[in-house]
A and B are shown apart, each in its own frame.
Chain A
């Protein structure tokens, strides 16, 4: 079953912060976050593993709440280059492939 992402879209001014949420109705082993720009392939951002810690990449970090089967992506002091669609991909028990959400469209304006 597809994970649910929220919000569906967000518009930010450069320098503002944003949080993107991803929730699943099934037990998760891991959550993978990707960013995709229009017409391009999804680019890997980070992976959150069950039992793992919050991961970070520069001003982008994420958390994984195993009890709630939720993950959140935190974008701090957003830059124009952060614009794109963010997808979470979830790994469930017994499956090797990822199930992706519908995405969150993020637009950072100057």
Chain B
């Protein structure tokens, strides 16, 4: 399978605990995105990497959230001191280096997501 993979697929934790999710993008995709999706809503942007550099962070990303992509390949998203409001599906997407053209965004391919439930 050469698609985007995420681990774990499901995570149940107690309020106050820390959790970490992993995303493995499509090979050779240099752009990686994290989104959060709650029931009945579209994905909300959290952060974006180009290679190992974190180039953009949403205001949704509080100081309890941190993301890394140390070698420009896989990425991790950590949530510290989880709250019930953090319960959501966390989606990862990757895209290749864009081609010529006016758009700076190429097609984003989504992984299956990690569903987080905070009790």
Contact = CB atoms under 8 A, between A and B. Distances in A.
Interface stretch (A12-20, A43-51, A74-82): A43-51
Nearest to A95: B56
B110 A41 contact: yes
A50 B50 CA distance: 23
21 contacts: A29-B105, A41-B4, A44-B107, A44-B109, A47-B103, A51-B102, A87-B42, A87-B43, A89-B42, A89-B43, A89-B108, A91-B103, A96-B31, A96-B50, A96-B104, A96-B105, A97-B33, A98-B45, A98-B108, A101-B42, A103-B42
B102 A97 contact: no
A99 B43 CA distance: 8
Interface residues of B, number: 27
Contacts, number: 72
Contacts of A99: 45
Contact of B40 (A34, A50, A89, A102): A102
Given A50-B102, A95-B56, A100 B42 contact: yes
B105 A100 contact: no
A42 interface: yes
B48 interface: yes
Contact of B113 (A41, A43, A87): A41
- Chain A interface size, as a band, is 20 to 34
Interface of B: 4, 31, 33, 40-45, 48, 50, 55-56, 58, 91, 101-105, 107-113
B105 A41 contact: no
A109 B77 CA distance: 39
A90 B9 CA distance: 27
Contacts of A103: 40-42
